[in-house]
Amino acid sequence: MSTKKWYGESDLVEKFGQMTLGMFLTAFREADELSQSDFAKKMGLSRANLCDIEKGRKVPSPERAAKIAKKLGIPEQVLIQLSIQDMLSASHMQYRVELKAA
């Protein structure tokens, strides 16, 4: 019998807070064991710009988020949704974004 506990999204949000685009990129970069400089080059960003995104000081537009997603090889919807959610959060608007492909 397994003693592992499976966590849902609400458990993770309660423990770590809402996922941001910056948090996602940081986790993705660290999982690949890349420096900010190397990851920024891969994404076509400056290291300073990547740092600002990871720290939440800047939020890429949905269009920019889609381009980053393509370069990472992940579904665009993931980063577009995080981008819009970050913009709403920065405006202190209490909405939750859920995207569906048209």
Identify whether 95 is part of a domain: no
Q: What confidence tens digit (pLDDT) does each residue in 65-100 have?
A: 999 999 999 999 999 999 999 999 999 999 988 888
Residue 4 included in any domain: no
- CATH code of the domain covering residue 44: 1.10.260.40
Q: What is the pLDDT of residues 19-34, one digit of tens each?
A: 899 999 999 999 999 9
The answer to whether position 99 is within a domain reads no
| Inside any domain, residue 46 | yes
| Residue 33 in domain | yes
**Domain assignment present for 26:** yes
Q: Any idea what DSSP says for residue 1?
A: -
pTM: 0.82
Helices and strands per DSSP (H, E), number in the chain: 6, 0
Mean pLDDT of 31-48: 95
- Residue 1 domain flag: no
| DSSP secondary structure string for all residues of 35-80 | -HHHHHHHHT--HHHHHHHHTTS----HHHHHHHHHHHTS-HHHHH
Q: ∠ CA(27), CA(31), CA(37), 5° rounding?
A: 80
Residue-range definition of the domain harbouring residue 58: 18-90
> For the chain, what is the domain count?
1
* Residue 39 and residue 32 in contact, taking contact as beta carbons nearer than 8 Å: yes
